[in-house]
Structure 1
Amino acid sequence: MGKDDHVPADVEALLLDRDSQISASRDELVGREGAWTGGSEAAEGYLRRVVAALNRVPELVVEHAEFGHYGSGCASFVDVFLARRDGSTRRVDPDGYTTVAGFSVELCRLAPIACILSPDKRSHHPDGRGYHSMPWLGAVTEMPIPGWEEGGDRISHVLDRHGITLVGPRLLSRPALPHLEIDTNLGDGPRYSIFDVWFHWMD
């Protein structure tokens, strides 16, 4: 049994379904219940409430939530970067850059699923410069994240309460529907993965 076998059968079936993959590749919502049946605005508003709930986890703080599609193009997910609330993972350098260590939760806009990325760092400067890694399949990891157990376990509970299923690397690394076309800068087409279907971005 793979480590990702905790994903409910109906969710796995949705992610692997032919018609669902085709719709998701076109950025069409395919969630079959809740906010995802109410259209893009309803789903977006719901995800904002999810982010607010994540920001209430006592040990963690939402350092950044990217609802703006990285300023251009279109992202099928909201990138939520979490850090320690006590500031212990934040460093201000003499050159003015602030660097923060943390990890990301990727909330899919197309269906009630999410994935967790391995710990990484973000940096930003008062003049607007900065650096952060883009999501990619190789960064998808399982919970709990070593070193982030405190607070990290609450992330799953928040998502569960909001009807969002965490999906891990075993399922997301499976091949997508053959000949599927996905506009994404995050994948390695022409053969895409299930990750690419549900978590894609094109500048």
Structure 2
Amino acid sequence: MVVEHAEFGHYGSGYASFVDVFMTRRDGSARRVDPDGCTTAEGLPVALCRLAPIARILSPGEPSHHPDGRGYHSRPMLDAVTDMPIPGWEEGCQQISQVLDRHRITLVSPHLLSRPALPHLKIDTNLDDGPHYSIFDVWFHWMD
């Protein structure tokens, strides 16, 4: 696995409680370049929490980017939290898990992340509509 894209900023403004890292296959087999120069890569998004040493591998995605700056990239959301290993990505999940383990970053389970947060908790986030937030929203939130 290799890092295709990492968003260490805050998507241009606001605040992201996570670093968004997109991993793809090192051999290039999951990457394609269209004749117009648009690059699309299939791979695994990884949300690295800025608030605690935790992370979550999310459902496979296909972000794209073009040399002129346009492209498509999704943000981490609870509905992308999935069980592992992810079919077709078993080896990649294992590699990512091993690297996170070496850095003492814990992969949080989908079961825990989907549990409800405290009932009256208000989270400033554009990633969920509320008013009932999950543990995912507590750790992985973004507000523009």
TM-score by length of 1: 0.69
Higher percent of residues as helix: 1
Instruction: Report deviation, 1:191.
Output: 1.0
| 1:75 paired to 2:16 | yes
| One-letter identity of the residue aligned with 1:179 | H
Alignment-derived partner of residue 89 in structure 1? 30
Q: Percent identity?
A: 80
- Determine the structure 1 residue equivalent to 2:80: 139
Q: Output the CA distance in 1 between the equivalents of 2:113 and 2:129.
A: 14
> Which residue does the alignment assign to 2:110?
169
Coordinate RMSD, CA, aligned: 1.0
Q: Which has the larger radius of gyration?
A: 1
Rounded to whole Å, the distance in 2 between the matches of 1:135 and 1:159 is: 18
Task: Give the unaligned 5+ runs of structure 2.
Answer: none
Contact 2:20 2:75 survives alignment (8 Å): no
Counterpart residue type for residue 102 of structure 1: G
In 2, Cα distance between equivalents of 1:196 and 1:185: 10
Q: Which residue of 2 aligns with 1:100?
A: 41
Taking the TM superposition and a 5 Å limit, the aligned residue runs for 1:110-121 are 110-121=51-62
**Regions of 4+ moved over 6 Å:** none
Aligned length: 144
Q: Deviations over 1:120-142 (max 9, x none)?
A: 00101101001011110010112
Listed as ranges, the matches of 1:1-203 within 5 Å are 60-203=1-144
Report the CA distance between 1:179 and its aligned residue. 1.1
Q: If the length of structure 2 is used for normalisation, what is the TM-score?
A: 0.95
Q: Distance in 2 between matches of 1:123 and 1:134?
A: 13
- Structure 1 residue runs without a partner (length 5+): 1-59
Amino acid corresponding to residue 99 of structure 1 in structure 2? T
Answer yes or no: is the 8 Å Cα contact 1:63–1:82 preserved in 2.
yes
